[in-house]
Amino acid sequence: MIQSKNANTYWGFIKDPIYGYIRLTAVEKTIIDTLAVQRLRRIRQLAGAEYVYPAANHTRFEHVLGAMYLAGAVVDNLPIQLSEFEKQKVRLAALLHDVGHAPFSHLFEPLLLKYLNRNHEGMSTWIIAESNLADVIRKQGFDPSEISKLAVGESSDSEKRFLGQVISSSFDVDKMDFVVRDSYHTGAGYGSVDVFRLIYTMDVLDGNLAADITALPTLESLILARLESFRAIYFHRACRAVQMMLLKAIDYAKDDLSILKINKPDEYLEWDDYIVWSKLFENPKSREIIRDLSARKLLKCAYEKTFFVKDELASNVFTKDSVRQKLEEEIAHKAGVQVDEVSIDVPSLPSVPYHYAMEIGPIDIPIFSKTHSGEKIAQKITELSKVVDVLQVFMNIIRVYTSEQYREQVGKAATEVLGESPLSNALSY
């Protein structure tokens, strides 16, 4: 068995505005100082959000440090004996869980899928197991393949599934960190979730991570905070406009972007927000869009409709590029504008994706109550909490964007094609 000598060697601190001092082991310091991790300094956590929240310039780098810190807090506080080696593995997995992110985070996701046949988690696994990073991990006494699986939530020890669930589950350290961190940097006024209440009451039930019922209010506010962040940040009209424009620019220039033709994970690591932005700025095909973004000339939302009930037809229609394209053409035609002046945005569409969207699905967090004798009885959170139950909502939005000058005619045309939208188009759950 591979063993690390440095897992327990304390190296020093990093200062984080949220948790204060994050202690690093020598192993962690070594792995942090690799290109794979350092590159995350140049990948924004929330591409587009800075156009609405000027202070939201935080990067994946500080997020993964935060996730590692929380992962350490979870494994240190679980009432189960774990070796320092196991704990170090979990912290490393948290540290590395996002190394696969493409420039501008989720924005590239559909292109990764289309051209490289991997989502960002697949990319993470690939990089951890097969890039130069793998050697560094190995030298530190860890198995890159094991860490790469743990980083996407899979524990190599089937008795200890909770080790993976710390990284990826309904209430993992990834979500805990980003809810709190996004709120800190946007100033958006939700998200001061007391994550330590949750962490300090976690336990293991039949090999799975579980939460004590006394943490239920914290879970509820964590879930509500995540939903608020959808409305306030991810689905904000202007944030989406920025993302759509970036996507369009990438689409125009994609033949000249070698990131979509890479063969080895180390080639992928050459790419970050800075490089992509500059390439798009220099490329005549995409330059105009980047110029508009540079001066905040954004697409405007001319039409918006929200679905809270699964509209099967709509869903089917919108998952197909061809149908969407046809609708864009129809609206453009009716509005009397060029077809590339009309863009339909549907959060769950592959072409403008939002991986979070899928996560508002069923939540099944095992919650336990302790009897007087100390026995832990599992219960379903959705049975315990009406709030969680109602928040497990389906939601879909269709928006039609266009340039400022065509807003009115495109709005009208979209209404004819897509139907009346109710007066209130605020996102509500």
Report 5-64 residues binding its own copies (CB under 8 A): 13-18, 20-21, 32-35, 38-39, 41-42, 50, 52-55, 57-59, 61-62
Question: With binding defined as CB under 8 A, does residue 2 bind its own copies?
Answer: no
| Minimum gap (Å) between residue 326 Cβ and its own copies | 28
| Minimum gap (Å) between residue 350 Cβ and its own copies | 28
Q: Near its own copies by CB under 8 A, which window of 146-154, 156-164, 171-179, 181-189? A: 181-189
**Residue carrying structure tokens 């490289």:** 116
Question: With binding defined as CB under 8 A, does residue 192 bind its own copies?
Answer: yes
| Minimum gap (Å) between residue 394 Cβ and its own copies | 11
Sign of the dihedral defined by the CA atoms of residues 248, 252, 256, 262, in that order: positive
Q: Which is nearer to its own copies, 16 or 122 (CB)?
A: 16
The pair of structure tokens assigned to 292 is 């508009």
**Gap between the Cα atoms of 96 and 148, Å rounded:** 8
Considering only 43, 71, 93, 232, the residue that binds its own copies (CB under 8 A) is: 232
Residues 287-306, interacting with its own copies (CB under 8 A): 294-297
Considering only 76, 187, 333, 359, the residue that binds its own copies (CB under 8 A) is: 187
| Minimum gap (Å) between residue 134 Cβ and its own copies | 15
- Amino acid identity for residue 200 in this structure: Y
| Minimum gap (Å) between residue 294 Cβ and its own copies | 6
- Amino acid identity for residue 332 in this structure: A
**Residue carrying structure tokens 């403008």:** 352
| Minimum gap (Å) between residue 381 Cβ and its own copies | 9
**Gap between the Cα atoms of 177 and 184, Å rounded:** 10
**Gap between the Cα atoms of 358 and 109, Å rounded:** 13
For its own copies (CB under 8 A), the number of binding residues is: 81
**Gap between the Cα atoms of 73 and 334, Å rounded:** 58
- 59 phi and psi angles, rounded to 5 deg: -115, 170
- Amino acid identity for residue 374 in this structure: G
**Gap between the Cα atoms of 72 and 360, Å rounded:** 26
- Amino acid identity for residue 137 in this structure: I
Q: Near its own copies by CB under 8 A, which window of 113-121, 236-244, 348-356, 385-393? A: 385-393
Question: With binding defined as CB under 8 A, does residue 361 bind its own copies?
Answer: no
- Amino acid identity for residue 226 in this structure: R
**Gap between the Cα atoms of 6 and 353, Å rounded:** 40
Considering only 122, 207, 217, 350, the residue that binds its own copies (CB under 8 A) is: 217
Question: With binding defined as CB under 8 A, does residue 190 bind its own copies?
Answer: yes
Considering only 158, 263, 322, 371, the residue that binds its own copies (CB under 8 A) is: 371
Considering only 205, 262, 275, 314, the residue that binds its own copies (CB under 8 A) is: 275
CA distances, 140 to each of 3, 223, 347, 356 (Å): 8, 37, 41, 33
